[in-house]
Amino acid sequence: VQEEGLNSYSKDCILEPLSLPESPGGTTTLEGSPSVPCIFCEEHFPVAEQDKLLKHMIIEHKIVIADIKLVADFRRYILYWRKRFTEQPITDFCSVIRINSTAPFEEQENYFLLCDVLPEDRILREELQKQRLKEILEQQQQERNDTNFHGICMFCNEEFLGNRSVILNHMAREHAFNIGLPDNIVNCNEFLCILQKKLDNLQCLYCEKTFRDKNTLKDHMRKKQHRKINPKNREYDRFYVINYLVRLSFHNLKFDCSTANKIFLRTN
């Protein structure tokens, strides 16, 4: 494998501040969300089909993005590089990986690797992480103050009005179903909708087995003490603020004290 590139970025700096693409709105991927364009062509893919876009870019354009799961806002990240690649050659940003380097020249192929070894990419990822954290904290604060919440207990069908904490505390106290302290949860409505949908589909929330009817499911969850969510299901990670804090603090070495103080004052 032969690597070239990063010609313009040998120094660990960029001369101008990053200009992040405008937020598409919202903090979660829902139906009707904007699509994501390919970095190089006019192909578009739904936000939820991120892997299809990545596959398209590898096959059609031979570009690989490293550690994409650590990118806090996939759509903004792609839009940023889509613009930058119209301004400078791809080899100014990407390492060139030549495969089949021992084969005849006509059988060799070049792939382009975009990763945070490039200072501009690393700073972009850090800024996206900070921006996503800011949005999550704002959403969390809004939900904390919201007194217009309306929900129905998924176990006894009792109706609740007011603050989200009322129904969460009820389910923990009356049904031994504890998904965590209300102040540690974000996008609570969506979280509860996902859990309710699983129960409507006769699926146990813990072991995720499906049962033939509602009564059998209820007996199973009660007898097996499965009135809790599956801790191995990564689908739930985005509903807990701590996951956004861990991502930022582990991968952003410039995480500053003022940001940390703001975070912990809000979450403790």
At 162-181, the pLDDT tens digits run 999 999 999 999 999 989 88
Name the residue among 143, 148, 230, 147 with its Cα closest to residue 184.
Answer: 143
Question: Given this model, what pLDDT does residue 246 score?
Answer: 58
Beta bridge partners of 5: 95
Question: Given this model, what pLDDT does residue 68 score?
Answer: 92
Question: Given this model, what pLDDT does residue 23 score?
Answer: 54
Q: How far apart are CA 200 and CA 154, in angstroms?
A: 9
Question: Given this model, what pLDDT does residue 70 score?
Answer: 87
Question: Given this model, what pLDDT does residue 22 score?
Answer: 64
Q: How many residues does the chain have?
A: 268
Question: Given this model, what pLDDT does residue 80 score?
Answer: 97
Question: Given this model, what pLDDT does residue 76 score?
Answer: 95
Question: Given this model, what pLDDT does residue 100 score?
Answer: 73
Q: How far apart are CA 127 and CA 245, in angstroms?
A: 14
Question: Given this model, what pLDDT does residue 189 score?
Answer: 94
Name residues of the chain where pLDDT drops below 50.
1-15, 24-31, 249-268
Residue type at 226 in one-letter notation: H
End-to-end CA distance of the chain: 50
Residue 182 to residues 156, 168, 173, 211, 238: CA-CA distances in angstroms? 20, 7, 13, 30, 14
